[in-house]
Amino acid sequence: MARHFGAVVIGAGAAGLTAGIYLARARVKTLIVDEGVAGGQMVLTHAVANYPGVEETSGALLSRTMRAQAKRFGCEILTQTATRLIDLNAAPKRLEVEGEGEITADAVIIATGGRPRSLGLESEARLKGQGISYCATCDGDFFTDMEIVAIGGGNSALEEAVSLAKHASKVTIIHEFDHFQAQPWAVEAAKAEPRVEFMMAQEVMGFEGEVALEAVVVRDKQTDEVRRIPARGAFIFIGYVPTTEALQGHVTLNARGEILTDEGMATNIPGVFAAGDCRVKRYRQITTAVADGTIAALSAIEHISTR
Ligand SMILES: Cc1cc2nc3c(=O)[nH]c(=O)nc-3n(C[C@H](O)[C@H](O)[C@H](O)COP(=O)(O)OP(=O)(O)OC[C@H]3O[C@@H](n4cnc5c(N)ncnc54)[C@H](O)[C@@H]3O)c2cc1C
């Protein structure tokens, strides 16, 4: 017989783990399933300095603490485990979880987050993992004393470039505009780092290297000059795409693939909620993911108790 849960949370990032903490504390039998590792994008973040109450920590440690907290309150957490939605409109809702078969739930919270956006270049795909990376925490120390580039101009790009400068001999920030989208404090921190240099208004044309990255080819948007920048590593920080492909045809998405929710994190399907970077929102941060997870869990608890 299918196992039944009060709530199933899909995704164990900041939003999903927070939802789990609130659900389990309210004694809702809760399963959190993640197709990857617990922590989501937090695991990619070298230093988190803007999570209130914690002066500075690593994304990895914050992930482990949130996971332990959810487990302590009684959440069941499955990682590296695929989920398939069978019928979210049914009561109870039906899902298939790898290794478990079909399970049912009174409420479902979707917290599938997002993943780093790629430039979409053929040479980028070919050299991914061979010098091209999207995670400073994971790969930064492979480039100790080497010259590398960081592509992007938002907070993440500048903050991660500063953390990469702890390893690399030089980090050149390549940005498509002549100004940064990052907050002034992030720009100031990057400018204060002697190993960080800047190339503004550049289009990345491609990456060169047979078996590993050797250079980045850029075009100056103001002069049209094409230049080859020698680099052993290229870190790409140009935003994110929501991970909602599996939700197509189940819940309402906008043109960018973000899940539409109301203030209570409710989707178009009663009893199905969405939280964190996978939903329509303006600011994507750990704090906002945690807030969404809290609201989604409280809404799910209300849904379950009024059924
Ligand atoms: C490089 C970088 C640096 C950042 N630095 C900061 C910072 O300093 N401070 C800050 O506040 N924010 C920072 N952010 C943003 C912050 O990490 C995110 O906004 C936040 O972690 C999003 O949490 P989430 O739970 O919504 O999604 P995610 O963290 O993306 O988690 C989603 C989880 O869902 C899982 N998943 C996806 N699809 C499925 C599926 N079909 N089935 C099962 N599981 C699935 C994924 O494996 C993942 O674990 C940074 C982001 C990046 C990329």
**Considering only CA atoms, which residue is closest to atom 53 of ligand 1?**
41
Pocket lining: 95 vs ligand 1, CB cutoff 6 Å: no
- Gap from CA of 288 to ligand 1 centroid (Å): 11
Model confidence over 5-46: pLDDT tens digits? 999 999 999 999 999 999 999 999 999 999 999 999 998 777
CA of 291 to the centre of ligand 1 (A): 14
pLDDT band with cut points at 50, 70 and 90 for residue 209? very high
> pLDDT tens-digit profile of 49-64?
889 999 989 999 999 9
The CA dihedral of 149, 154, 155, 158, to the nearest 10 degrees, is 20
pLDDT (average), residues 88-94: 97
Question: How confident is the model at residue 25, as a pLDDT?
Answer: 97
The domain made up of 3-115+240-305 is a member of CATH 3.50.50.60: yes
Q: Please state the rounded mean pLDDT for residues 119-138.
A: 92
Is residue 282 scored above 90 in pLDDT? no
Residue nearest to atom 8 of ligand 1 (CA): 48
Q: What is the pLDDT of residue 137?
A: 78
Determine if ligand 1 sits within 6 Å of the CB of residue 40.
yes
Burial class (CB in 10 A: 0-12, 13-18, 19+), 283: exposed
Tell how far the Cα of 214 is from the centroid of ligand 1, in angstroms.
30
- Cβ of 63 closer than 6 Å to ligand 1, yes or no, is no
Q: Under CATH, domain 118-236 is a member of which superfamily? A: FAD/NAD(P)-binding domain (3.50.50.60)
Judge whether 231 and 147 are in contact, CB under 8 Å: yes
pLDDT of residue 113: 97
Please tell me if the CB atom of residue 258 comes closer than 6 angstroms to any atom of ligand 1: no
Q: How far is the CA of 113 from the centre of ligand 1 (A)?
A: 5
Q: Structural domain boundaries of the chain?
A: 3-115+240-305, 118-236
Q: How confident is the model at residue 120 (pLDDT cuts 50, 70, 90)?
A: very high
pLDDT tens-place string over residues 212-249: 999 999 999 999 999 999 999 999 999 889 999 999 99
Q: Over range 269-298, report the average pLDDT.
A: 96
Q: Widest CA span of the chain, in angstroms?
A: 68
Q: Which residues are catalytic?
A: 135, 138-139
- The residue whose C-alpha atom lies closest to atom 44 belonging to ligand 1 is 34
User: What are residue 83's DSSP bridge partners?
Assistant: 97
Is 48's pLDDT higher than 90?
Answer: no
pLDDT by residue (tens digit) across 160-192? Answer: 999 999 999 999 999 999 999 999 999 999 999
CA atoms within 13 A on the CB side of 245: 4
Check if 277 has its Cβ closer than 6 Å to any atom of ligand 1.
yes
Q: Helices 14-25 and 286-305: crossing angle, nearest 10°?
A: 40
DSSP state letter for 160: H
Distance 44 CA to ligand 1 centre (A): 8
What does the pLDDT average to over 127-143? 90
